[in-house]
Protein backbone atom coordinates (compact mmCIF):
# COMPACT_ATOMS: atom_id res chain seq x y z
CA UNK A 1 0.00 0.00 0.00
CA UNK A 2 1.52 3.31 -1.05
CA UNK A 3 1.34 6.39 1.11
CA UNK A 4 0.08 9.65 -0.28
CA UNK A 5 2.49 12.56 -0.54
CA UNK A 6 -0.24 15.16 -0.20
CA UNK A 7 0.08 15.43 3.61
CA UNK A 8 3.78 16.22 3.13
CA UNK A 9 2.97 18.97 0.62
CA UNK A 10 0.30 20.29 2.98
CA UNK A 11 2.80 20.43 5.83
CA UNK A 12 5.34 22.22 3.64
CA UNK A 13 2.66 24.69 2.56
CA UNK A 14 1.66 25.32 6.17
CA UNK A 15 5.28 26.01 7.14
CA UNK A 16 5.72 28.43 4.24
CA UNK A 17 2.48 30.20 5.16
CA UNK A 18 3.48 30.51 8.82
CA UNK A 19 6.88 31.84 7.76
CA UNK A 20 5.22 34.39 5.48
CA UNK A 21 2.83 35.49 8.20
CA UNK A 22 5.52 35.83 10.83
CA UNK A 23 7.89 37.74 8.55
CA UNK A 24 5.07 40.11 7.56
CA UNK A 25 4.05 40.72 11.15
CA UNK A 26 7.62 41.25 12.33
CA UNK A 27 8.66 43.48 9.44
CA UNK A 28 9.41 47.08 10.28
CA UNK A 29 8.00 50.14 8.59
CA UNK A 30 7.76 49.80 4.83
CA UNK A 31 9.05 52.42 2.38
CA UNK A 32 8.56 53.22 -1.30
CA UNK A 33 10.56 55.30 -3.73
CA UNK A 34 8.86 58.33 -5.30
CA UNK A 35 10.53 60.24 -8.15
CA UNK A 36 9.86 64.00 -8.39
CA UNK A 37 10.85 66.03 -11.45
CA UNK A 38 10.01 69.46 -12.84
CA UNK A 39 10.46 71.33 -16.05
CA UNK A 40 12.51 73.45 -15.54
CA UNK A 41 14.64 71.46 -13.09
CA UNK A 42 16.00 72.90 -9.86
CA UNK A 43 12.73 73.44 -7.98
CA UNK A 44 12.84 73.11 -4.19
CA UNK A 45 10.94 70.02 -3.00
CA UNK A 46 9.10 70.30 0.32
CA UNK A 47 7.88 67.00 1.80
CA UNK A 48 5.45 67.16 4.71
CA UNK A 49 6.63 70.68 5.53
CA UNK A 50 10.36 69.94 5.38
CA UNK A 51 12.75 70.72 2.52
CA UNK A 52 13.83 67.48 0.87
CA UNK A 53 16.12 68.80 -1.88
CA UNK A 54 15.85 70.05 -5.47
CA UNK A 55 14.42 68.43 -8.58
CA UNK A 56 15.06 65.98 -10.04
CA UNK A 57 14.86 64.07 -6.77
CA UNK A 58 14.14 60.53 -5.62
CA UNK A 59 12.41 60.33 -2.23
CA UNK A 60 12.08 57.34 0.10
CA UNK A 61 8.76 57.70 1.91
CA UNK A 62 6.85 55.60 4.43
CA UNK A 63 3.85 53.67 3.14
CA UNK A 64 2.08 54.27 6.43
CA UNK A 65 1.26 57.95 5.87
CA UNK A 66 -0.24 60.37 3.38
CA UNK A 67 2.53 62.73 2.24
CA UNK A 68 2.14 66.27 0.93
CA UNK A 69 4.74 67.23 -1.68
CA UNK A 70 5.19 70.82 -2.86
CA UNK A 71 7.64 72.16 -5.41
CA UNK A 72 8.67 75.83 -5.51
CA UNK A 73 10.86 77.71 -7.96
CA UNK A 74 11.30 81.46 -8.00
CA UNK A 75 9.31 83.00 -10.83
CA UNK A 76 6.97 80.00 -11.13
CA UNK A 77 3.68 78.98 -9.52
CA UNK A 78 4.16 76.40 -6.74
CA UNK A 79 2.62 72.96 -7.24
CA UNK A 80 1.31 70.61 -4.52
CA UNK A 81 0.04 67.03 -4.51
CA UNK A 82 -0.65 64.23 -2.04
CA UNK A 83 0.98 60.81 -2.17
CA UNK A 84 -1.27 58.16 -0.62
CA UNK A 85 -0.82 54.52 0.32
CA UNK A 86 -3.09 52.42 -1.92
CA UNK A 87 -3.56 48.68 -2.24
CA UNK A 88 -1.51 47.29 -5.12
CA UNK A 89 -4.14 44.90 -6.44
CA UNK A 90 -1.76 43.37 -9.00
CA UNK A 91 0.68 42.26 -6.29
CA UNK A 92 -2.12 41.10 -4.02
CA UNK A 93 -3.83 39.06 -6.74
CA UNK A 94 -0.54 37.38 -7.65
CA UNK A 95 -0.12 36.46 -3.99
CA UNK A 96 -3.64 35.12 -3.64
CA UNK A 97 -4.07 33.46 -7.03
CA UNK A 98 -0.50 32.41 -7.63
CA UNK A 99 0.02 31.40 -4.07
CA UNK A 100 3.15 29.67 -2.98
CA UNK A 101 3.94 26.10 -2.09
CA UNK A 102 0.98 26.24 0.27
CA UNK A 103 -1.46 26.35 -2.63
CA UNK A 104 -4.75 28.21 -2.50
CA UNK A 105 -5.04 28.27 1.29
CA UNK A 106 -1.51 29.58 1.72
CA UNK A 107 -2.14 32.20 -0.98
CA UNK A 108 -5.35 33.38 0.68
CA UNK A 109 -3.76 33.53 4.12
CA UNK A 110 -0.67 35.30 2.78
CA UNK A 111 -2.83 37.77 0.84
CA UNK A 112 -4.96 38.50 3.90
CA UNK A 113 -1.86 39.07 6.02
CA UNK A 114 -0.33 41.33 3.36
CA UNK A 115 -3.53 43.33 3.24
CA UNK A 116 -3.76 43.60 7.05
CA UNK A 117 -0.11 44.52 7.60
CA UNK A 118 0.14 47.04 4.76
CA UNK A 119 2.55 44.91 2.72
CA UNK A 120 0.08 45.01 -0.18
CA UNK A 121 0.12 48.82 -0.22
CA UNK A 122 2.25 51.07 -2.40
CA UNK A 123 2.48 54.85 -2.48
CA UNK A 124 0.66 56.39 -5.41
CA UNK A 125 1.65 58.08 -7.59
CA UNK A 126 5.20 56.68 -7.63
CA UNK A 127 6.37 59.32 -10.09
CA UNK A 128 5.49 63.03 -10.19
CA UNK A 129 6.35 65.21 -13.19
CA UNK A 130 5.38 68.87 -13.23
CA UNK A 131 5.71 71.45 -16.00
CA UNK A 132 5.90 74.62 -13.96
CA UNK A 133 4.03 77.72 -15.14
CA UNK A 134 5.74 81.09 -15.03
CA UNK A 135 4.30 83.80 -12.82
CA UNK A 136 3.31 86.66 -15.11
CA UNK A 137 4.62 90.07 -14.19
CA UNK A 138 2.00 92.83 -13.85
CA UNK A 139 3.59 94.73 -16.72
CA UNK A 140 3.60 91.65 -18.97
CA UNK A 141 -0.12 91.12 -18.43
CA UNK A 142 -1.62 94.60 -18.14
CA UNK A 143 0.38 96.65 -20.63
CA UNK A 144 -0.62 94.63 -23.73
CA UNK A 145 -4.28 94.69 -22.56
CA UNK A 146 -4.20 98.44 -21.98
CA UNK A 147 -2.48 99.05 -25.34
CA UNK A 148 -5.05 96.88 -27.14
CA UNK A 149 -7.95 98.59 -25.36
CA UNK A 150 -6.63 102.07 -26.12
CA UNK A 151 -6.12 101.38 -29.82
CA UNK A 152 -9.85 100.83 -30.23
CA UNK A 153 -10.69 104.33 -28.94
Judge whether 70 and 48 are in contact, CB under 8 Å.
Answer: no
The answer to whether residue 54 is domain-embedded is yes
The answer to whether residue 126 is domain-embedded is yes
Burial tier of 130 (Cβ tally within 10 Å: 0-12, 13-18, 19+): buried
- pLDDT on residue 46: 97
Q: What is the pLDDT of residues 71-88, one digit of tens each?
A: 999 999 999 999 988 876
pLDDT level of residue 5 (50, 70, 90 thresholds) = low
> How many domains are contained in the chain?
1
pTM of the predicted protein model: 0.58
Q: Which residue segment(s) compose the domain that 94 sits in?
A: 6-135
The answer to whether residue 149 is domain-embedded is no
- pLDDT on residue 4: 55
3-state secondary structure of 131: strand
pLDDT level of residue 103 (50, 70, 90 thresholds) = very low
The answer to whether residue 121 is domain-embedded is yes
- pLDDT on residue 123: 84
- pLDDT on residue 104: 47
The answer to whether residue 146 is domain-embedded is no
- Angle in degrees, CA 55, 58, 62, rounded to 5: 130
The answer to whether residue 114 is domain-embedded is yes
The answer to whether residue 104 is domain-embedded is yes
Judge whether 90 and 147 are in contact, CB under 8 Å.
Answer: no
- pLDDT on residue 102: 47
Amino acid sequence: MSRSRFPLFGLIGLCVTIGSVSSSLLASERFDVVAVSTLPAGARVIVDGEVGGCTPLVLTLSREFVHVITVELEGYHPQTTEIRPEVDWAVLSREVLGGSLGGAVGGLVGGAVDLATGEAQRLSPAEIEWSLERVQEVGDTLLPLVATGLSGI
